[in-house]
């Protein structure tokens, strides 16, 4: 299994902390957000990565090549990082459809048990779902059908109707990936939805019959870092763990 790691964004909400570096190179504990994520994935058997960078991308490449010489990295530059979103970065990665894809954003601080739970889940297509704590209006929310499968993904879902927050960690089968890339290219190129989240493409595939199952992360540590408050919380939690 190969990981696709998306790390192109400017993280404007974290300025001035990100004036001179990408968000993923901010420290949490004794490591950067990026180094922590790659280390945990490598400890769980994932040693090949496609990394889509953008804002100060050369810093990301240098950090990974210097810190993880035993891993296999391929790098892709999202030159349009300032005007696109993570769906565009994922489209650029164009994953090999002969193997599963472990997809993650580079701004997530998680504990090793999160990755083990995702890898051990039997469903071919699955996404991490935080089901405890408050679910805010700005979070990517998931709705579930009566049989437990994911039936919807959107920030626009009513928090009261959502089963939890989709945390930005997904594993997809080769069949799902093969169907995903034509949808991404159509939505982004033909329909010019250049600033949308990749979950919109996932939701379209779900609507057409592709089954995606949630992996309940319950109270495991899994934090998306968007603001200075998020970063401070992650630093406190990692320091205490």
Q: Are strands 164-172 and 126-130 parallel, antiparallel or unpaired?
A: antiparallel
Q: What pLDDT was estimated at residue 112?
A: 96
Q: What pLDDT was estimated at residue 75?
A: 97
The tally of domains found in the chain comes to 1
Q: CA 210, 179, 117: angle at the middle one, nearest 5?
A: 55
Question: Quick check: 104 and 5 in contact, CB under 8 A?
Answer: yes
* Distance in angstroms (rounded) separating the CA atoms of residues 117 and 208: 27
Comparison of pLDDT for 241 and 69, the residue scoring more: 69
**Alpha-carbon distances, residue 9 vs 54, 118, 140 (angstroms):** 6, 25, 17
Q: What pLDDT was estimated at residue 77?
A: 97
Which structural domain, as residue segments, surrounds residue 229? 2-240
* Distance in angstroms (rounded) separating the CA atoms of residues 9 and 76: 13
Please report which confidence band the pLDDT of residue 240 belongs to, taking 50, 70 and 90 as the band edges.
Answer: low
* Distance in angstroms (rounded) separating the CA atoms of residues 223 and 106: 11
Question: Quick check: 73 and 65 in contact, CB under 8 A?
Answer: yes
Q: What pLDDT was estimated at residue 176?
A: 96
Q: What pLDDT was estimated at residue 239?
A: 72
pTM to 2 decimals? Answer: 0.92
pLDDT at 3 over 60: yes
Q: Using one digit for the tens of pLDDT, what is the confidence trace for 122-157? A: 999 999 999 887 777 778 999 999 999 999 999 988
Question: Quick check: 106 and 8 in contact, CB under 8 A?
Answer: no
* Distance in angstroms (rounded) separating the CA atoms of residues 188 and 120: 33
Q: Using one digit for the tens of pLDDT, what is the confidence trace for 61-112? A: 999 999 999 999 999 999 999 999 999 999 999 777 789 999 999 999 999 9
CATH number at residue 226: 3.90.550.10
Q: What pLDDT was estimated at residue 166?
A: 93
Q: Helices (DSSP H) in the chain: which residue ranges?
A: 33-43, 57-67, 86-93, 112-120, 174-185, 199-207, 228-240
184-202 burial code (b ≥16 CB/10 A, e <16):
beebbeeeebeebbbbbbb
Q: Using one digit for the tens of pLDDT, what is the confidence trace for 189-230? A: 999 999 999 999 999 999 999 999 999 998 899 999 989 999
């Amino acid at each position: 299994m190969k990981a696709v790691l998306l790390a192109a964004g400017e993280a404007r909400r974290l300025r001035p902390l990100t004036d001179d570096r990408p968000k993923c190179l901010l420290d949490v504990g004794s490591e950067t957000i990026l180094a922590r994520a790659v280390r945990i994935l490598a400890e769980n058997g994932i040693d090949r990565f496609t990394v889509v960078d953008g804002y100060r991308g050369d810093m990301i490449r240098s950090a990974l090549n210097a810190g993880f010489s035993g891993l296999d990295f391929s790098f892709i530059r999202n030159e349009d990082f300032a005007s696109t979103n993570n769906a565009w970065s994922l489209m650029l990665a164009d994953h090999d459809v002969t193997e599963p894809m472990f997809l993650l954003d580079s701004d997530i601080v998680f504990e090793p048990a999160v990755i083990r739970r995702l890898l051990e889940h039997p469903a071919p297509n699955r996404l991490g779902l935080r089901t405890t704590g408050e679910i805010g209006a700005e979070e990517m929310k998931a709705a579930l059908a009566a049989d437990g499968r994911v039936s919807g993904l959107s920030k626009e879902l009513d928090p009261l109707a959502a089963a939890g927050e989709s945390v930005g960690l997904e594993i997809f089968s080769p069949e799902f990936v093969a169907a995903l890339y034509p949808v991404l290219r159509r939505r982004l190129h033909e329909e010019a939805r250049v600033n949308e989240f990749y979950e919109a493409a996932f939701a379209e595939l779900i609507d057409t019959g592709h089954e995606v199952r949630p992996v309940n992360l319950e109270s495991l540590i899994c934090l998306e870092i968007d603001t200075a408050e998020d970063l401070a919380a992650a630093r406190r939690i990692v320091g205490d763990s």
